[in-house]
Structure 1
Amino acid sequence: MGAGVLAVLLLVYLVVAGQRAVMLIATGEPVAVAMGVALLVLPLVGVWALVREWRFGVQAERLGVRLEREGALPEEELPVRASGRVDRDAADGVFPRYRAAVDAPGADWRDWFRLALVYDAAGDRRRARAAVRRAIAEERSG
């Protein structure tokens, strides 16, 4: 829901920025034209980023639902401290199994997606996203 609201707000911003850009370009003054062109490029980059993130989310969700239907989601939960945060030291004991699965011959997208879920649960979003990207690529090629 929150992502949808942000996407709508971004689209409104992009439309307004695009209108302002056209107005600046229409003046014909060199500085205004340059600013208008720059203002057109930024919304295009924004649209590209929005579409890219939206596609990533849809593809990741599709794989997650598929893995859940297969009953192949990771079963154990990562150890949590009293504060509610994952105990990273204790979580290190969970990672080798999932890492070994993706390094083993015959590893497929399911192994990469499970690794991503474990990374995400541990709060390592960068590695989680990279593992999901790999899962998506593996699923496409397989």
Structure 2
Amino acid sequence: MTGETLDNAARIVQLALTPVFLLSGIAALLNVFASRLGRVADQADALADQPDEVTRHARLRLLRWRSIALDWAVVLAALAGTLTCGAVLVLFLGEVRGSSAAMVLFLLFGGAIVLTMGALVAFVLEMLLAARGVRRVVDSSAAR
């Protein structure tokens, strides 16, 4: 291995760190999404024993919308992670093959960023739905 080859390899590894940091962030987001989805499922199970049919139906409908928003967040984040891994792979393969894969690399990494933004938007939607549910419970408790 010549000094120039080693320098090129070190440069590629350094460039690959940015997508790897994004991948770590996406993994953390997926963990949060999975935890929140578990909470939604627990709340739906708890509502199964509630005697008030009207209240139960309204809360289950809200939980359904929350789970849909979280489903989208999970799918978008997982796709973003896949594109990020693809960007790292293209980065390494482009260097090994000696070809310029800049356009593919930009498309994969840019797509990962866009999908991550979409996952965050879906997560914000779920958070707003959760806050709406909390306000409904507080309002109904205050009315009693």
Higher helix share: 2
TM-score w.r.t. structure 2 length?
A: 0.44
TM-score, length basis structure 1: 0.44
